[in-house]
Amino acid sequence: MTHSDPKNRPGRTAAEPRPANDAAQVRTVRVPDDRAGQRLDNFLLGQLKGAPRSLVYKIVRSGQVRVNGGRAKAERKLEGGDEVRIPPVRLGDTGDRPAPPKGLLDALEAAIVYEDARLLALNKPSGLASHGGSGISHGAIESLRALRPGQTLELVHRLDRDTSGLLVIAKKRSALTELQALMREDGGISKRYLALLTGRMPDGVMAVDAPLHIGLRQGGERHVQVNPAGKPSLSHFKVLERRGGQSYCEVRIETGRTHQIRVHAQHIGHPIAGDDKYGEVDANKRLREQVGLKRLFLHASTLEFALDDGKTPYLLNAPLAPELIDVLDRLA
């Protein structure tokens, strides 16, 4: 899609990344047509490079951000042509921030499992956040940008910090727009995970259709619960094999809610091994002592989708992390 030269739009700035010092001035940004459907908070994160997510939510809640002259919520879906007022935000000199450690950059380079002109797929390690913020200096996207200076890299989706596996990053705006549209469609992207569930799951495929609601605990920590007031959520659990009294499963999700697999697993009485938020303390302790499981056993293994209106199929795979393979071997 061809965009007009922003110099021909006096009084408006194009929706492109701005230098850090521009964040200290009030700006009105017109949303390009190819960003229709993007959430306001994600749009702002793209405009205010380096801003923590908590700051973005703060300026939205306080009414400093306006869409077409009115207040808006962070989850509002923008439309092409919307005008977004972005208040002055002092992010400091990004040059003062320490660069990601060389060891992390080397590990991420080795973790790229697929790349072409439009996207790259990372086998994200457990313990690495998808993006920085809330005290996290270097998330996956910030580190990849440091690894590839000068490239435009944008997160297509997120994974929990403790979940390993496929994280897709768009290298072109057109790819980001198409992939995010597929994310919103039922069945637009097929997502499969590998997980170790505690206890003996029944044979066959168990469909868990349970709405999920995000609440906040003291201190602002997100905690998700099955709640009739929540959003529709559907997961399918299939036992691949049983090891040491536990159930090694493939999980296919039709919706992508926060902590969906973890909460659905807890809901059916078989929480994910190593889950310190929704899991069983005693079971986690036994697995840590007996087979060395020190992390959440949840891995995003496969993504399948097609770009170019279905003409270009992709099947992305990320191998199970070595420490999880070791756990399975010890359980046998």
Residue in the block written with tokens 């891995």:
299
Options 82, 160, 162, 275, the catalytic residue: 160
pLDDT tens-digit profile, the chain (332 residues): 434 333 333 344 445 444 444 455 788 999 988 778 888 988 898 888 777 778 888 899 999 999 999 999 999 999 989 999 999 887 654 444 577 888 888 989 999 999 999 999 999 999 998 887 655 567 898 889 888 888 889 999 989 999 999 999 999 989 999 998 898 887 789 999 999 999 999 998 999 999 999 887 656 677 899 999 999 999 999 999 999 999 999 999 998 888 999 999 999 999 999 999 999 999 999 999 999 999 999 999 999 999 999 999 999 999 999 999 999 999 97
Render 273-302 in DSSP notation, one character per residue: TT-TTTS-HHHHHHHHHHH---S--EEEEE
Joined tokens for residue 315: 């099947």
Residue in the block written with tokens 């009485």:
269
Clarify whether 160 is annotated catalytic.
Answer: yes
Give 76's DSSP letter: P
What CATH topology corresponds to 13-90?
3.10.290
**Domains of the chain, residue spans:** 13-90, 101-175, 187-331
AA identity, residue 284: N
Count Cα neighbours of 69 within 13 Å in the Cβ-side half-sphere. 0
Q: Check: pTM over 0.85? Answer yes or no.
A: no
- What top-level class would CATH report for the domain 101-175? alpha beta
Report the pLDDT value the prediction gives residue 1, as an integer from 0 to 100.
Answer: 40
287: left (phi over 0), alpha (psi -120 to 50) or beta: alpha
Would 101-175 and 187-331 be classified into the same CATH topology? yes
Q: Which listed CATH number (3.40.50.300, 3.20.20.450, 3.30.2350.10, 1.20.1560.10) goes with 187-331?
A: 3.30.2350.10
Q: How far apart are CA 328 and CA 332, in angstroms?
A: 6
